[in-house]
Amino acid sequence: MFETVLVANRGEIAVRVIRTLRSMGVRSVAVFSDADADARHVREADTAVRIGPAPAAESYLSVDRILEAAARTGAGAVHPGYGFLAENAGFARACAEAGLVFVGPPAQAIALMGDKIRAKETVRAAGVPVVPGSSGSGLSDDRLAEAAGEMGMPVLLKPSAGGGGKGMRLVREPERLADEIAAARREARASFGDDTLLVERWIERPRHIEIQVLADAHGNVVHLGERECSLQRRHQKVIEEAPSVLLDEATRAAMGEAAVQAARSCGYVGAGTVEFIVPGGDPSSYYFMEMNTRLQVEHPVTELITGLDLVEWQLRVAAGEPLALAQQDVTLTGHAVEARICAEDPARGFLPSGGTVLRLSEPRGDGVRTDSGLSEGTEVGSLYDPMLSKVIAYGPDRATALRRLRAALAETVTLGVQTNAGFLRRLLAHPAVVAGELDTGLVERDAAGLTRDEVPAEVYAAAALLRRAGLDPAPGSGWVDPFSVPDGWRLGGERAWTAHHLRVPGHDPVTVRLRGTADGGFELLFDDAESPVRGSGGTATVGTDSRFTFRLDGVSHTFAALPGGTWLGRDGDAWQVRDHDPVAASLSRAGHAGADSLTAPMPGTVTVVKVAVGDEVSAGQSLLVVEAMKMEHVISAPHAGTVTELDVGPGTTVAMDQVLAVIAPAEEETA
């Protein structure tokens, strides 16, 4: 076994690999960019090496700098995690040339399976069924369009050089094909450095089922059962589970054997995943999609039902050890479900979010595991993947695992950065999910019903109470002047109201009027309501556990909170509550005289600018593209008009809500 292993990654997967290295008694080396100098994976490793500036191209994607770090620290092997260089055949070859063991498959297997076109041809020759689609590499836009026409709509555009849903486009209308090909090439080039595309027939209401394989250098290959990954949004997995309720034992065995044959066809060594698309109405008709030549994000669910540590087996296989189990030794026990916690705001169309993690509470306990790269103070920026952590629950059956995961997500608190934890909790309670009636389009179809469109009234109540509490005299300060207590008390008169003007981004402002009552409680008036709501409690400042409890109209409410109520969290959801200045807002609107300011919907980088000041634009016209966390967002004109201000150019880094451009409406629009 190796004495020292360098982990060529960041975030939760780096922390997870370091955990296994520590349990095996192997020294760990972390690498970090300037943006990650104080990251959790840096603190948990035995030693850490700076490898460059924040952009991934100059740090985590720099082969030379990673190899130099390995040489400086005496590492004998490199574990790539997933993402970045994990499926880069050139990196695997460079490690071998530098005398390092790459903890993964041979470079030729990575290259073969990393090219989706060659991969399909290879596994087809091995007898594995594949999805009908285009053949041949380097197809032009015209040839792709021709192949799509031959297959008939809808079709799926896929980058040949990478996975993870990056660059994938589902196209249903022929007139959209040219634009979608251009967008898919652009995203594939940015994500993988290669814009080669293929086109496949789209299978309606498909299920995404993958098989975990494990192979050693001695010719042994086994599969560890399947994972159901059908709950996806924008081709990105959000919930994964093992085993799948769709498969019977015969189909499981057949798909497992097909996965083993796919692994053998490319000379695979290590842990890998063979992905299949399965028609929901006919699980016996499964098609090979691709092979991921690395550890998968969702590997914990397989670990929990098999009792195996996949990272440990990656390391043992890389060190030359044979597998210690045959296929008949693999048993699947119980059920496990995983939820991916991402920095995104479901209430704003799942746009990437960012900020500083100000309060963090991650679930643990019976049957619950959290893999995380977070700690309080972590800066979540727009340069890297939005996934922050994973919460995994295990139970003797599926119902127990789902129930435990929903409870764990309710306990998840990440104040300072918006996440999808609350959305995922509601998704897990969806009747179709509970029944196991899944398909890859379910989340997109029902997402609107699973997001919180309105901010609950008690959120504004808590924010107002916490703002008032911040003005209360400190406990133990002795005699208190009643005039200094902000409860509205007045000598010989009715208590006065104090007004709190509040706004949650993406929602209209709300005014909460608050006053104390003679019995120590309080009354609240929301906006222009005629009668107040009575409440009690909530007068103390937030304690060290960040919990704030009060009663409103007889109902108790508990939030995770920051002092002053600037952030509030409950059941996985979180709200940033800002102070709103109605006078300043009114002056701003008057100053623009009906013009619309186009603001950045997320922190990121402007990659494309299609207009200039003075240009006439039409309603819905694409004006700019903002990219964050490997996701593009098109900024379009809200109406016909003239570009009167343009404050950014290609490469400009922008903050959320920063003004990008101003469009003055055309005369007919104004009329």
On whether both 210 and 191 belong to a single domain, the answer is no
CATH number for position 170: 3.30.1490.20
Residue 274 resides in a domain = no
In a domain? residue 110: no
Do 520 and 618 belong to one domain?
A: no
Beta strands in 234-325 (DSSP E): 236-242, 270-279, 287-292
User: What DSSP string describes 568-609?
Assistant: EEETTEEEE-EE--HHHHHHHHHHHTTPEEEE-SSSEEEEEE
DSSP 337-378: EEEEEESEEGGGTTEE--EE--EEE---BTTEEEEE---TT-
In a domain, 137, yes or no: yes
The last residue of one of the domains, among 156, 183, 201, is 201
d(CA 238, CA 236): 6
In angstroms, the Cα distances linking 431 to 172, 438, 471 are 28, 10, 46
Q: Element (H or E) spanning 312, and its range?
A: helix 310-318
Together in a domain, 421 and 546:
no
Say if residue 429's pLDDT is above 90: yes
The answer, yes or no, to whether residue 250 has pLDDT greater than 70, is yes
Q: What is the pLDDT of residue 16?
A: 98
**Using omega within 30 degrees of 0 as the cis cutoff, is the peptide bond preceding 582 cis?**
no
Closest to 5 in 3D by CA, of 323, 321, 315: 315
Residues 522 and 463 in one domain: yes
Residue 307 lies in a domain: yes
The pLDDT of residue 569 is above 90: yes
Segment 358-366 shows an average pLDDT of: 94
Write the pLDDT tens digit of every residue in 146-160. Answer: 888 888 889 999 888
* Listed residue (439, 223, 235) closest to 310, CA to CA: 223
CATH number of 563's domain: 3.30.700.30
Could you tell me the CATH number of the domain that includes residue 61?
Answer: 3.40.50.20
Identify any residues that bridge with 597 across adjacent strands, giving them in sequence order: 662
Domain assignment of residue 234, yes or no: yes
Strand partners, 356: 379
The verdict on residue 127 lying in a domain is no
pLDDT digits (tens, 9 = 90+) for 465-488: 999 887 665 555 565 565 555 555
Mean pLDDT computed over 209-220:
98
Across 326-333, average pLDDT: 97
Q: How confident is the model at residue 587 (pLDDT cuts 50, 70, 90)?
A: low
- Whether residue 620 has pLDDT greater than 50: yes
The DSSP 8-state label assigned to residue 130 in this structure reads B
Q: Work out the percent of the chain whose per-residue pLDDT is above 70.
A: 92
* pLDDT for residue 593 is more than 50: no
The single residue listed with the structure tokens 């008169």 is 493
Could you say which of 171, 186, 201 is where a domain stops?
A: 201
pLDDT level of residue 543 (50, 70, 90 thresholds)? low
State the average pLDDT over residues 12-24. 98
Instruction: Evaluate if residue 208 carries a pLDDT over 60.
Output: yes
Q: Tell me the whole-structure pTM to 2 decimals.
A: 0.85
Q: 329, 122 in Cβ contact below 8 A?
A: no
Mean pLDDT of all residues belonging to the chain? 90
The strands making up 155-159's β-sheet, listed across from edge to edge, are 169-171, 155-159, 197-201
Mean pLDDT of 575-579: 95
Question: How far is 637 from 661, CA to CA, in rounded Å?
Answer: 10
Taking the C-alpha atoms of residue 100 and residue 80, their distance in angstroms, rounded to an integer, is: 12
195 lies in some domain: yes
193 and 313 share a domain? no
Question: Of 549, 579, 609, at which residue does a domain stop?
Answer: 579
Q: How confident is the model at residue 666 (pLDDT cuts 50, 70, 90)?
A: confident
List, in sequence order, the alpha helices (H) in 197-298. 249-265
Q: Which residue has the higher pLDDT, 165 or 152?
A: 152
What's at 512, amino acid-wise?
V
Mean pLDDT within 88-95: 98
Q: How many structural domains are present in the chain?
A: 5
Same domain membership, residue 195 and residue 212: no
Half-sphere exposure of 223 (CA within 13 A, CB side): 23
Provide the domain limits for residue 71: 4-103
